[in-house]
Every structure is written in structure tokens, then in C-alpha cells.
Amino acid sequence: MATPQSLKHQRSTSSRSSRPRASTKGPLDLPDDDPLSSDDPASPRSPQKSQARTSHLSSDVGPSDSFDLKSLNAEIDSILASESVTSTAKDLSFLLRPEIYHPLSQLEIPPVFRTPFYSPSIEEPIEVSMGILNGFLTQGHFLLAAHLCAILLTSPAIRPLDRQTIFTLFYTRLACLELTGNTAFAAQESKALEDLHSTFYYVDTDLEVAGDTKPQTRYRNSYHIVPWPLRVLAVRLQSIGFGDSRRGITGLYELGFEARAEAMRPGLDKAKKQIWQERLSDLGIRSVNALVEMGDLDAAQRSLGSLGLGDSDAIKVRAGLLALRIGDITTAKDILDKSSVLREGVLKPLTSMADGNYDEAISEWRTLLETSPKSAEPMIVQNLAVCLLYTGQLNEARSLLESLISANHSFQSLTFNLATIYELCSDKSRDLKVRLVQDVSKHPHTGDANVDRTTSDFKL
């Protein structure tokens, strides 16, 4: 339900004073004397693997990765989960107010895709409801999942002190709203978190640190109770909700300061240091992306050039994609030249496309299609079809995209691009698009794409 203007926040804002920021050098990039740089280069790394999916006809870049509530719970704070944290109870009842959450509608969803919203009974245990919610997520019913999250957050089954369940549901609600194109709702609802850097969200913890020559000592540290994925997501959404793009940049820098401080915390093992290093690199990329969204491409280009990308190929791919989005083809080529691994991936043909060399890109996409795993085939085939379209080979492009539909692939940019081709090649494009809707509605629900599709995905 939308928040009425007459309703005022019932908690005293003065109880949440801003937390003083720790003194540290630099913003989001790692310092020259960073202790992480002295780690053994052979130490295991676990960068998050992400497929670069893109299309030159649609702003949505491909199928969204499915996620599981169990994995989110396991990551509620994987870094400090094993450490002794003071069990300070926090009353989160301010996130359980019904007026925070907007009602959702299926009016823009074609009838063949509609599924009734699920509302649990009062007697239904919370474990059963969470299992149903997880089922929606694994099947790709993100709109139904967002609706159920709001129902559970405002039900008497949720205890105000159960912060893990509350934050899990709140994060899932915001993420599902974004996945279903309801970013405006997510931005407004994220404002309920208020200032995530306030002292309210921190608890003190005593950590034992063992030095090389000294016995174990007690070390005082502050621990943030909100999961890291929710904090990162909230930064962008709150900047949209408050209509202040600079707030997003500031929020990312605040997280960067904290990540740097955690990375240099005494007694932290290499695995946890690596996690904080990757989080810091991720924040650097996000800050550049925020500048792009602001329209400040010059600042984005300077920031991208100043980032220390480290050894993670996943981060380098994202940096290359951002360079292409900015239009800085030179930087993208420099990133390619410095990595033999990236030259064998998607960044090379994408750079050729950005440079207008579509014939060369067609050859590179075909080569990549022969050497890439089966899971990357939809993304490669779609971009190959886009290149064929730009070179006037409309029929072959249409055939390739229809082959993906026949293989039960139906992510948003694919259906949007195929609908565009139908408009270009037929006077009866609406009939073809209606048939496309019928074909996609028969696909199995695997959780790899949003099942609750809107008419705009098919340009109807």
C-alpha cells in the first residue's frame, strides 16, 4: 500500500545519529600499501562468475540469474558469521508497517502468463510460507514472490527482533521488484531503511586477534547487521527514491571506506581479505556505473581509468563493458590487450560491434559459439543475430532468434528483439507477436528468466 502523506514516521529520528567514519586513505580503489597486495598470488580466489549478456536493440541485457533464499540466508554475513558478535536486539518493527509496501497488479501481464497471487492463511507456519516463496523464486515468478514478501513482512508471524528473516524478505522484495520492472516501487520502499550508516545498524563485537609474537588480544570492532547485498542494493534504490543521484555516489564511497577498513582489520585471514577486496573492486565498478546513469560520462571515464582492477577477470569484463557503454573503445581495447583470457571471450566481439565492424563481429561470434559452453549459447546467438540484422541479413537473424525460442529460451531482450524483427519484416507483425506470446507461455519454468512477463516485453 502506498504511504499516505498524512502518515508520519513514528520513531524518533534523533535516536539514530550518524556514525563517525573511520579515517582511511583513498575512496574505492585499493591503496599502494594495501596488505592484500602482499598475499600469495597462488591463494585461492572466488570471484563471482557472471556472463556478459548484451543486446544492441534492447536495454535489458539478458536472462536474470536465479537465486535461492537458502543461499541468501547462508550469506547473511558470511564474513563475520563465525566470529563472536554481541547479541544486541534491534527492533525492526519500522520495516513491518503495511503502508510501506505498494500493491502490485497483473494488468500489464498477458492473460496466458497470469498466476493468482498467493496469500497465506493466518494459521500457516512461517516455514511453510518461506518454502512457497522459495518455490516462486526458483520458478521465476518474481512478481508473485514480491507480493508474498510484502504479505509476510506485514503479518503477525514475523517477530520484530528476527532481523535475519526480515532482511531476507526485504532484500527479496526489492530485488524482485527490480527484476519485474517495478524499480520505482522498490526505490520508494527502500527509503524505509533510512540512513544505513547510522549507529542504529551497528553493534559492537569483541574479536580475538593472535599476533605472530604476541598472545591473543581483544579487539573492539563494529559490526553492521544488514547483509551486504541489501546495503549495496539500497544505495542505488535510495538515490532514485530521494531523487538525488549524488546520494548514490556518496553511499558507494561510504561502503568503500568500510570495506577498506575491514580488509585491513588485524587478524583477518586471507580468504576473508579476498572477499573484502572483491567487494571493494565491485564498488569501484558500481561507482562508475552510477556516474554513467547520472550522464557524467567524462567523470565515469576518468574513474574507470583510475580503478585498480586486480586479477579478477570478472571485474575486468565489467570494466570493459562499462568502457563500451561510455563509448571509450580505446580503454576497452586496452583491457583486451592485457588479458589473453578476455580476448577469447565476449568482450572482443562486443568491442568490434561498438567499433562498427559488424562483419568482423559476426565471424568472432561464430567462432565463440563453437568454443563456448552450452549455457552461453543464447547470449552468443542473440548478439550474432543483431550483427546479422545490422548487415542486412534479416531472414537469418529472424531464424536464429526463433531457434532460441524453440529451444525454450525466452529472456526479455530476446523476445523484444524478435518482436522488433517481426515489425521490420512483416505487415502482420502483431499476429506474429501474439503467436510469440503463446509459444513463450508454454516454456518450462526454470527460474532463469522472469515468468511474469509484461506486454512491453513483446512490444504489444
* Per-residue pLDDT of the chain in tens (460 residues, 90 and over written 9): 444 433 433 433 333 444 443 333 343 444 343 333 333 333 333 333 333 333 334 333 333 333 445 444 444 343 333 333 445 688 999 999 999 999 999 999 999 999 999 999 988 999 999 999 999 999 999 999 999 999 999 999 899 999 999 999 999 999 999 999 999 999 999 999 999 988 899 887 655 544 444 444 444 567 889 999 999 999 999 999 999 888 999 999 999 998 998 888 887 888 888 899 889 888 988 998 899 888 888 888 788 778 765 566 777 887 888 888 888 899 889 888 888 778 888 899 999 999 999 999 999 999 999 988 888 999 999 999 999 999 999 999 999 999 999 999 988 899 999 999 999 988 889 999 999 999 999 988 877 778 888 999 999 8
Q: Which amino acid is at 259?
A: A
Last residue of a domain, one of 218, 243, 268: 243
Q: What is the CATH number of the domain that holds 417?
A: 1.25.40.10
Which pLDDT value is given to residue 317? 83
- Residue 422 falls inside a structural domain: yes
- Residue 2 falls inside a structural domain: no
Which domain range does residue 399 map to?
345-460
Parallel, antiparallel, or unpaired: how do β-strands 217-224 and 202-209 relate?
Answer: antiparallel
Please state the pTM of the whole predicted model: 0.76
Domains contained in the chain, number? 2
∠ at Cα 296 (342, 245), nearest 5°? 105
Cell (9 digits) for 427? 505487415
Last residue of a domain, one of 210, 228, 243: 243
Which pLDDT value is given to residue 33? 37
Q: Are residues 238 and 352 in the same domain?
A: no
Last residue of a domain, one of 201, 220, 243: 243
CA distance 129 to 213: 52
Q: Are residues 84 and 228 in the same domain?
A: yes
- Residue 199 falls inside a structural domain: yes
Q: Are residues 79 and 208 in the same domain?
A: yes
- Residue 431 falls inside a structural domain: yes
Nearest Cα to Cα of residue 353 among 374, 382, 378: 382
CA distance 450 to 431: 23
Nearest Cα to Cα of residue 380 among 403, 424, 351, 346: 346
The answer to whether 382 touches 51, Cβ cutoff 8 Å, is no
Which pLDDT value is given to residue 159? 93
Q: Are residues 97 and 226 in the same domain?
A: yes
- Residue 190 falls inside a structural domain: yes
Look up cell 594495501; give the residue. Answer: 34
Q: Are residues 363 and 225 in the same domain?
A: no
Phi and psi of 174, rounded to 5°?
Answer: -65, -45
- Residue 8 falls inside a structural domain: no
Specify the DSSP class assigned to residue 449: S
Question: What does the CA dihedral 294, 297, 299, 305 come to, rounded to 10 degrees?
Answer: 130
